[in-house]
C-alpha cells in the first residue's frame, strides 16, 4: 500500500463511524457560501479539529468541518472551510480532505471559491462557471510517489471540468434567471494578491479569473476519477484591472452581498444533479 493511501485510509477508518451515509456529491464551500450548510437537512457533522492528523484552516472566516445532509434527495458531504497552500501545508495535506471525501463514496466534486476577475467583461458579484484551469504556477498535489490506489501516475486532464455537468449548470442558471459567466481559473499560491504585471501575464496565458485555491483540489479529484464542476464568485477585479486596491474585506463583502443567489444556484445544481 502506498504511504499516501495508507494515511488517508487510516484517517477514514477512524472517522467512518461518524459518516452517516454514502455521499453522492462532495461540495467545497468558498467565501460567501459558508452558511450554505445551514440550508440543508443535516444528518451529521465532523469538526476538522476532531480528526487526527487533519489540516485545520487558519484563515479568519473559514470554519472547519464536514457537514453531511440532503439537498433535496441528494446525499452530500460539505467542506465548510478548506485549507490553502499559503497557510504552510504541503499540497498533499491540502488535498487530503478531497481524497477523504472520495473514500466516503463521493463521485462528484463541486468546488466553489472567491476569485479576482481578469476578464474585463466581468464585474464584481458575477458568477463564473469554471470550464478549465491553469495550475502550472503551483506545485502539483501529485508530485511524489504515486498512490496507485487513487489513480494513475500521469492522469488525463483534458476534461478536468465535466462537460455534462457544465451543461447542467448552464441550464439551471438559465432557469433561475441568474446570469452566468464562464471561464478559465488560474491558481497562484498567494497569500499576497497579484501585481498588475502578474495579472497581465495571467491574461496573456488565457485566464479569466485568479485565486489561491481549487485547481489543486480539482487535480486530485481528476486523479481519482471523480466528475468535477465548479463556480467562482468574482469578488473583485484583479490587480491593475481598475484603480481599486485589493482587500480581503472587499472580497468578503462582495461574496456576502451575492451569497443568496450563489446559494440558490448551488442548491438547484445539486438538487437536480444528473
Ligand atoms: N487574487 C487572488 N485570489 C483572490 C482574489 C484575487 O484578486 N480575489 C479573491 N481571491
Give the atom of ligand 1 at the shortest distance from the alpha carbon of 188: 2
- List, for residues 150-164, the tens digit of each pLDDT value: 999 999 999 999 999
Q: Are 109 and 98 in contact, with CB atoms under 8 Å apart?
A: yes
- Region of residue 148 (phi > 0: left; psi between -120 and 50: alpha; otherwise: beta): alpha
Among 84, 133, 223, 268, the active-site one is: 84
CA angle 155, 85, 29 (to 5 degrees): 85
DSSP assignment of 26-44 equals: EEEE-TT-GGGGGGSEEEE
Ligand 1 center from residue 58 Cα (angstroms): 17
Closest Cα to residue 52, out of 12, 11, 9? 11
- Global pTM value: 0.96
pLDDT tens digit string along 20-69? 999 999 999 998 787 898 889 899 999 998 998 888 877 665 569 999 99
Domain count, the chain: 1
What nine digits make up the cell of 248? 480581503
The pLDDT value recorded for residue 62 is 57
Cell matching residue 19: 459518516
Containing domain of residue 36, as a range?
3-271
CATH code of the domain in which 41 resides: 3.40.50.1580
H or E element: which one contains 139? Answer: none
Q: Residue whose CA is closest, atom 2 of ligand 1?
A: 211
d(CA 151, CA 225): 7
Number of other CB atoms surrounding residue 262 within 10 Å:
26
- Give the residues across from 26 on adjacent strands: 77, 109
Q: Which atom of ligand 1 is nearest to the CA of 211?
A: 3
Calculate how far, in angstroms, residue 117's C-alpha sits from the geometric centre of ligand 1. Answer: 8
Q: Are 46 and 15 in contact (CB under 8 A)?
A: yes
Amino acid at each position: 500500500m502506498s504511504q499516501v493511501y495508507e494515511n488517508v485510509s487510516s484517517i477514514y477508518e477512524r472517522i467512518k463511524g461518524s459518516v452517516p451515509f454514502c455521499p453522492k456529491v462532495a461540495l467545497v464551500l468558498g467565501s460567501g457560501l459558508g452558511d450554505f450548510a445551514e440550508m440543508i437537512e443535516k444528518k451529521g457533522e465532523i469538526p476538522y479539529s476532531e480528526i487526527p492528523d487533519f489540516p485545520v484552516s487558519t484563515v479568519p472566516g473559514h470554519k472547519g468541518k464536514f457537514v453531511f445532509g440532503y439537498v433535496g434527495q441528494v446525499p452530500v458531504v460539505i467542506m465548510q472551510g478548506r485549507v490553502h497552500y499559503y497557510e504552510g501545508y504541503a499540497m498533499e495535506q491540502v488535498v487530503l480532505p478531497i481524497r477523504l471525501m472520495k473514500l466516503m463514496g463521493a463521485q462528484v466534486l463541486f468546488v466553489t471559491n472567491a476569485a479576482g476577475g481578469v476578464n474585463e467583461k466581468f464585474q464584481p458579484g458575477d458568477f463564473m462557471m469554471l470550464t478549465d484551469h491553469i495550475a502550472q504556477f503551483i506545485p502539483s498535489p501529485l508530485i511524489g510517489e504515486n498512490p496507485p490506489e487513487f489513480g494513475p501516475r500521469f492522469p488525463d486532464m483534458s476534461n478536468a471540468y465535466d462537460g455534462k455537468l457544465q451543461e447542467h449548470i448552464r441550464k439551471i442558471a438559465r432557469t433561475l434567471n441568474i446570469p452566468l459567466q464562464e471561464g478559465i481559473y488560474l491558481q497562484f499560491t498567494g497569500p499576497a494578491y497579484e501585481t498588475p504585471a502578474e495579472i497581465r501575464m495571467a491574461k496573456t496565458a488565457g485566464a479569466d479569473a485568479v485565486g489561491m485555491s481549487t485547481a489543486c483540489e480539482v487535480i486530485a479529484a481528476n486523479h481519482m476519477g471523480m466528475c468535477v464542476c465548479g463556480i467562482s464568485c468574482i469578488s473583485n477585479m484583479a490587480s491593475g484591472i481598475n484603480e481599486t486596491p485589493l482587500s480581503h474585506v472587499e472580497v468578503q463583502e462582495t461574496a456576502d452581498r451575492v451569497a443568496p443567489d450563489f446559494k440558490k444556484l448551488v442548491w438547484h445544481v445539486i438538487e437536480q444533479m444528473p
